[in-house]
Amino acid sequence: MLVNEGRVKSIFDHLGGGREWGLDSIGSYQYFSFYQDMVRKKAQGELPVGDIIDFLKAAKAPYTVYLTNKFVCNLDLRAVLKIHQEQNNQMTAVFKRAAANRIAPDDHILTLKKDGTVKHVKEFRKMSSKTEVYNLSLGVFIVNTEWLIEQLQNSQTLSLEEFLFNSLPQIKSSTYEYTGYVSNIYDLPSYYQANLDMLNSENYNSLLFSSHKVITRTKNEVATYFSIASDVQNSQIATGCVIKGKVANSLISRRTLVDNGAVVDHAIIMGSTKIGAKSQIRYALVDKDVTIDPGVKIIGQPDNLLVVKKNEHITANIHGGK
């Protein structure tokens, strides 16, 4: 596990004791914190990949998997490895056919030859030709480790990811098309949309209930209480909540209160939030441990989402957009 110094607390908060992932025994995991050194060396114009080379040599694994962290999907790496081994190439890249509105300007697009190999790679913002769908790289690569070590030792690259993309058209490479659900999270609207995508049962089941489990911490709580006056439509509500108002097209996290007469619509509400009576929240993202006073309105727009930060106490109306 490569640890970014600025994200250590978030990682440990999520892992907890590590039992759910089989990380609670001696020798079940290792932490590598050379990410900070890589950033420092890159800023100084030095080659930052020396530590990576040392790690790859020590691992002694025949294959190396490289993954970026912005795409959410349920990918079977064993299936990708099988293609990689069958085609006997140095590298295999995973892509997804995606519409332009689901692609970030700095995402990489693969142009493929008839045999499925990569002709060239370009950032989306540099694509001159327009089409309905693009071969969007998911930033997932399986590489022959010996070849990778040799190439990195002889390269002047400042970025492992940059090296992999540049190498794709120049070597024996394969591609693997992923056809399941993918969410590309690169800004606030894409994060918001990724959450709302889970209201679609096809997306939800593809991501979370395929043959490959998504493992997280167990949290046993009381069931959510719905009063006789509550009205819930097309929403997901976690355990431990109290719902007395109206919730539509929204996702509500654990231990949240939606009081009498309150309306939550097209919103994402994080845990332990208290939404007062007759208040309204529309097109907004509310972080955890927020208190919203009775009658307060937080009204965003589809193209102008509002964000309420963690631990805030909202006492006055907030409006965004038109």
Average pLDDT over residues 245-250: 98
Give the β-pairing of 274-275 and 71-73: unpaired
What pLDDT, on a 0 to 100 scale, did the predictor assign at position 322?
47
C-alpha distances in angstroms, 11 versus 123, 214, 289? 30, 16, 20
Q: In what order do the strands lie in the sheet with 291-292?
A: 225-226, 242-243, 257-258, 274-275, 291-292, 313-314
At 33, is the pLDDT very low, low, confident or very high (cuts 50, 70, 90)?
A: low
Predicted model pTM: 0.86
**Whose structure tokens read 């109206």?**
246
Q: Which of 55-69, 130-144, 229-243 has the lowest mean pLDDT?
A: 55-69
Average pLDDT over residues 28-44: 61
Q: In the predicted model, is pLDDT for residue 3 greater than 80?
A: no
Q: What percent of the chain has pLDDT over 70?
A: 86
Give the C-alpha separation, 210 to 130, whole Å.
33
Closest CA to 299 of 309, 278, 284, 315: 284
Which has more confidence, 25 or 251? 251
Q: Which of 50-59, 141-150, 297-306, 311-320 has the lowest mean pLDDT?
A: 50-59
User: 176: helix, coil or strand?
Assistant: strand
- H/E stretch holding 275 reads strand 274-275
pLDDT tens digits for 99-143? 999 999 999 999 999 888 899 999 999 988 888 899 999 999 999
Average pLDDT over residues 181-188: 95
Average pLDDT over residues 75-103: 95
Q: What are phi and psi of 267, to 5 degrees?
A: -135, 155
Give the C-alpha separation, 133 to 182, whole Å.
14
Which has more confidence, 157 or 306? 306
pLDDT tens digits for 248-277? 999 999 999 999 999 999 999 999 999 999
Asked whether 70 and 37 are in contact (CB, 8 A), the reply is no
| Domain boundaries, given as residue ranges, for the chain | 34-208, 225-319
Give the C-alpha separation, 131 to 3, whole Å.
38
Residue 322: is it exposed, middle or buried by C-beta count within 10 angstroms (0-12/13-18/19+)? exposed
Residue 171: is it exposed, middle or buried by C-beta count within 10 angstroms (0-12/13-18/19+)? middle
Measured in residues, the chain has a length of 322
Average pLDDT over residues 189-208: 94
Q: Which stretches of 88-172 are DSSP H helices?
A: 145-153, 160-167
**Which residue type occupies 254?**
R
Q: What is the CATH number of domain 34-208?
A: 3.90.550.10
Average pLDDT over residues 285-305: 96
Asked whether 187 and 204 are in contact (CB, 8 A), the reply is no
* The Cα angle at residue 185 between residues 83 and 291, in degrees rounded to 5: 140
At 22, is the pLDDT very low, low, confident or very high (cuts 50, 70, 90)?
A: confident
Average pLDDT over residues 195-202: 96
Q: What is the CATH number of domain 225-319?
A: 2.160.10.10
